[in-house]
A and B are shown apart, each in its own frame.
Chain A
Amino acid sequence: MFTQQEAKVISRYLLKVDIDQKQVDLYAQTIASGDFQLSIFEQRIFRHQIQRPIHCAAYDAILGWTHPNGNIRKRFFLMFSILETTPQFSDHFLGVHNKLACIRIGFVGIIKYLFHLSLGILFLTFQFIIHRLCTPFMTASS
């Protein structure tokens, strides 16, 4: 169930599109068969991203620098690959923008990215502190 929800949240974050059950199934099957396991710290972050989609961009921006090869990035990469090879979204990848649109998208994109990166630094630091504080209790209880 969670995998279905994450597939939809990630695709909405990446391309602002709603995907069919076929793409959800493809995503879920690949997650189930490959190495996509998340560490406890990653699970905490990923849960936040999926339950609060508005936080997706901030965490994604900072994880690109701190955990570029982590399995959260890998899950996003998987969904991106599925979207790129789905005919109904081919316009997003094959279409061409005119010069003005390129400048606008680029400029707005940079501003948004820097904003998300700053938020991401704050969020990740906060999550890291919480994780360090909680770990002794989790170890003791387990």
Chain B
Amino acid sequence: MHPLYDCIVVGSGPSGVQAAQTLLEGKMKVLMLDVGIKQDRFYQDNLPNSSFTQVRESDPNQHHYFLGKNLDSVAKDWQNKQDRLTPPLAFTKELVGLWQSKIDKNNNQFFMESMAKGGLGNAWGRGAFTFNEKELDKVGLAREEANRSYQKIAQRIGISGTRGQAVKLDPLLPPLFLDKSMQYLWNKYDQKNNYWRRRGFSLERTPLAVQSIPKKGRQDEQYWDIDFWSLGKSAGYHPGHTLDQLLLEPTFTYLPQHYVFKFKDQTDGVLVMAKHTGTLEEKTFRCRRLLLCASVLGTARIIMNSLHAQAHKRPLICNPFAYGIWLNTKMFGQQNSIAKSSFSQLSLFEQATDPGSFNLLNLYTYRSLLLTKLMNELPFSYRFSYQICAILKEMLVIGGLHLPEESHPTNYIRLLPDRSSPTGHILDINYHHDDRRLKKAIRSINKPLLNWGAIPLMTQYTASGASKHYAGTFPFSTREQKFCLSREGRLHHTRHIYVGDASGFRHLPAKGPTLTIMANAHTIASGLLKNFKALLSVEDSLNK
């Protein structure tokens, strides 16, 4: 039996590390349990320290990270059009199939989970949006607390952008530079911005968890256009940055290779059961409070297994997602800026039918995607596809469209027994989203884009779950009801179990939820801290 910890945090993703930091600032003794698969040393050692174009022009071994060790992205993964993880980031989904099995009856779902150090935060596009008041109400978060927490997280991680629909924070770091192609779109919008706003469209700089100026030992954006290939050398924030700081704290313990599968809520604390992923040995840990930050699907597995709720249906929310390619006609025969960032540069908001709700298209110029990947989307001969791509590459604008989503009774998950799984269960996900909503939104969003000279080339409607934004399995509820969370994040009908990820969100706005998830984790950890300090003072007075 291990020593008694004040709090055990499960998971090292964006919510886990932020909650742990808040708890440590309150002097709590924290244990973080995590599977914690690390990025392959091969990629860490081989990652280039120069810009995308320099690497392409001079490095004879570039295929190692652009195509993967042993050219895996071609040999094994060449038709994968869902996750879009570059080979150096493929560790994000390593081992998941073995430990976290899922049923996919029609092979048309793409729900991503992660057992990596940093969790799904490794696959995050660094979009750092704040929800507006109506969105916070629908999600079930208290406005004032959420705004305070946004501010706190922004101070910790650094957010660049300009105040507007996308982000309402002060102060922000200066926004990143726009490249030539995006500058054209921005200028066209800016000439008639009042007109477009009246029509329900607004174009803004994408707020990013990226350092636009050097700060706190993290380097600023170098505009090397290699951000999605080079995790450690990018100016973009990822949970590993916070985890590295936490490891210096004397009251913090990080135990990787531990897969948490069950807890027991007792009068005086919690027992947490985990399996060592190497030896499969089962271990039990004790703590006063348990904070689950294992991402929505991971947390659902642990709670349903612990509360013997197998076969019990829990709702699931996921943003419908499509991506498309547009041709910026202004860039015909011109070269785009060499120095550029790979992250989303502009965000196009479209007022949805529901007031205060938006559809969101994030725009990128993605040179570092490599023509190889684009060629795979075209049905022509490779020679002809190459010629087309070579002509059009400077004109390509990639857009990712997210729609807001509510809970629907037909979309649910349940845990079923499965003897072949090391955890003894399998997750059955039943999810369907209607592509007609996406098609309608694409048609509508094409109007301003066409006006600004961007011609739609193709749209890919992705499988359910491909947005990687999940929520709603244990929704917030003010009434004490089973499988729901209190505003403080406590799982109703338990004493010491808290949930710090997006499981409680009752709604998912189109804006990426990562910043809100981190802010919510901070709010819950702060509440837990207050509650815990009150408990300690009661214990002290009883002892006296």
**Residue positions of A touching B, CB distance < 8 A:** 13-15, 22, 26, 29-30, 33-36, 57, 60-61, 64-65, 68-69, 73-74, 76-78, 80-82, 84-87, 90, 92-102, 105-106, 109-110, 112-113, 116-117
**Contact indicator A77/B78 (Cβ below 8 Å):** yes
Task: Indicate if B49 sits at the interface (CB-CB under 8 A).
Answer: no
Out of A26, A34, A61, A100, name the residue touching B384 (CB < 8 Å). A61
Task: Indicate if B390 sits at the interface (CB-CB under 8 A).
Answer: yes
**Contact indicator A60/B381 (Cβ below 8 Å):** yes
Task: Indicate if B241 sits at the interface (CB-CB under 8 A).
Answer: no
- The distance from the CB of A134 to the nearest CB of chain B, in whole angstroms, is 27
**Contact indicator B335/A64 (Cβ below 8 Å):** no
Q: A84-B371, A94-B57 are in contact. Are A116 and B71 (CB under 8 A)?
A: no
Task: Indicate if B440 sits at the interface (CB-CB under 8 A).
Answer: no
**Contact indicator B71/A78 (Cβ below 8 Å):** yes
Task: Indicate if B60 sits at the interface (CB-CB under 8 A).
Answer: yes
Out of B62, B376, B382, B390, name the residue touching A85 (CB < 8 Å). B62
**Contact indicator B71/A26 (Cβ below 8 Å):** yes
**Contact indicator A113/B384 (Cβ below 8 Å):** yes
Give the residues in chain B near A95, CB-CB below 8 Å: 390
Give the residues in chain A near B71, CB-CB below 8 Å: 26, 30, 34, 78, 81-82
**Contact indicator B391/A81 (Cβ below 8 Å):** no
Task: Indicate if B155 sits at the interface (CB-CB under 8 A).
Answer: no
What are 25 A-B pairs with beta-carbon distances under 8 A?
A: A29-B70, A33-B75, A34-B71, A34-B74, A35-B75, A61-B380, A64-B379, A64-B381, A64-B385, A69-B79, A77-B78, A77-B375, A78-B75, A81-B74, A84-B372, A86-B60, A87-B56, A87-B57, A93-B371, A94-B53, A99-B333, A102-B332, A105-B387, A109-B387, A116-B384
Chain B residue at smallest Cβ distance from A22: B60
Give the residues in chain B near A69, CB-CB below 8 Å: 79
Cα of A60 to Cα of B394 in the assembled complex, Å: 26
Give the residues in chain B near A87, CB-CB below 8 Å: 56-60, 62
Query: Secondary structure at chain B's binding surface: helix, strand, loop or mixed?
Result: helix
Task: Indicate if B63 sits at the interface (CB-CB under 8 A).
Answer: yes
**Contact indicator A64/B333 (Cβ below 8 Å):** no
Chain A residue at smallest Cβ distance from B384: A113
Task: Indicate if B66 sits at the interface (CB-CB under 8 A).
Answer: yes
9 nearest CB pairs, A to B: A34-B75, A99-B333, A60-B381, A61-B381, A85-B63, A113-B384, A109-B387, A96-B335, A30-B71
**Contact indicator A76/B333 (Cβ below 8 Å):** no
**Contact indicator A15/B76 (Cβ below 8 Å):** no
Give the residues in chain B near A65, CB-CB below 8 Å: 379
Give the residues in chain A near B66, CB-CB below 8 Å: 84-85
Give the residues in chain A near B372, CB-CB below 8 Å: 77, 80-81, 84
Task: Indicate if B99 sits at the interface (CB-CB under 8 A).
Answer: no
Chain A residue at smallest Cβ distance from B375: A80
**Contact indicator B78/A74 (Cβ below 8 Å):** yes
Cα of A78 to Cα of B372 in the assembled complex, Å: 9
Q: A34-B75, A87-B58, A97-B391 are in contact. Are A81 and B67 (CB under 8 A)?
A: yes
- The distance from the CB of A81 to the nearest CB of chain B, in whole angstroms, is 5
Give the residues in chain A near B333, CB-CB below 8 Å: 96-102
- The distance from the CB of B383 to the nearest CB of chain A, in whole angstroms, is 6
Task: Indicate if B388 sits at the interface (CB-CB under 8 A).
Answer: yes
Cα of A83 to Cα of B62 in the assembled complex, Å: 11
- The distance from the CB of A8 to the nearest CB of chain B, in whole angstroms, is 16
- The distance from the CB of B73 to the nearest CB of chain A, in whole angstroms, is 8
Cα of A68 to Cα of B383 in the assembled complex, Å: 14
Task: Indicate if B460 sits at the interface (CB-CB under 8 A).
Answer: no
Cα of A93 to Cα of B75 in the assembled complex, Å: 22
**Residue positions of B touching A, CB distance < 8 A:** 53, 56-60, 62-63, 66-67, 70-71, 73-76, 78-79, 332-335, 370-372, 375-376, 378-388, 390-391, 393-394
Known pairs A64-B378, A81-B63 / 13 extra A-B pairs, C-beta < 8 Å? A35-B76, A57-B383, A61-B384, A64-B382, A77-B74, A80-B386, A85-B66, A93-B371, A99-B333, A102-B332, A105-B387, A110-B384, A116-B381
Chain A residue at smallest Cβ distance from B331: A96
- The distance from the CB of A3 to the nearest CB of chain B, in whole angstroms, is 14
Chain B residue at smallest Cβ distance from A97: B391
- The distance from the CB of A101 to the nearest CB of chain B, in whole angstroms, is 8
Chain A residue at smallest Cβ distance from B389: A93
Cα of A61 to Cα of B380 in the assembled complex, Å: 6
- Among B63, B333, B383, find the residue whose CB has the most chain A CB atoms closer than 10 A: B383
- The distance from the CB of B342 to the nearest CB of chain A, in whole angstroms, is 16
Cα of A57 to Cα of B386 in the assembled complex, Å: 13
**Contact indicator A102/B391 (Cβ below 8 Å):** yes
Cα of A97 to Cα of B386 in the assembled complex, Å: 13
Give the residues in chain A near B384, CB-CB below 8 Å: 61, 109-110, 112-113, 116
**Contact indicator B59/A113 (Cβ below 8 Å):** no
Chain B residue at smallest Cβ distance from A74: B78
Give the residues in chain A near B62, CB-CB below 8 Å: 85, 87
Cα of A64 to Cα of B376 in the assembled complex, Å: 10
- The distance from the CB of A56 to the nearest CB of chain B, in whole angstroms, is 8
Q: A77-B78, A81-B74, A93-B371 are in contact. Are A113 and B63 (CB under 8 A)?
A: no
Cα of A36 to Cα of B76 in the assembled complex, Å: 10
- The distance from the CB of A27 to the nearest CB of chain B, in whole angstroms, is 9
- Among A36, A92, A113, find the residue whose CB has the most chain B CB atoms closer than 10 A: A113
- The distance from the CB of A54 to the nearest CB of chain B, in whole angstroms, is 13
Give the residues in chain A near B334, CB-CB below 8 Å: 96
- The distance from the CB of B396 to the nearest CB of chain A, in whole angstroms, is 13
Out of A26, A90, A97, name the residue touching B63 (CB < 8 Å). A26
Give the residues in chain A near B79, CB-CB below 8 Å: 69
**Contact indicator A92/B390 (Cβ below 8 Å):** yes
Chain B residue at smallest Cβ distance from A113: B384
Chain A residue at smallest Cβ distance from B391: A102
**Contact indicator A90/B57 (Cβ below 8 Å):** yes
Give the residues in chain A near B58, CB-CB below 8 Å: 87
Cα of A87 to Cα of B54 in the assembled complex, Å: 9
- The distance from the CB of A89 to the nearest CB of chain B, in whole angstroms, is 10
Cα of A97 to Cα of B395 in the assembled complex, Å: 12
Cα of A122 to Cα of B384 in the assembled complex, Å: 19
**Contact indicator B335/A113 (Cβ below 8 Å):** no
Out of A29, A36, A60, name the residue touching B382 (CB < 8 Å). A60
Cα of A14 to Cα of B380 in the assembled complex, Å: 13
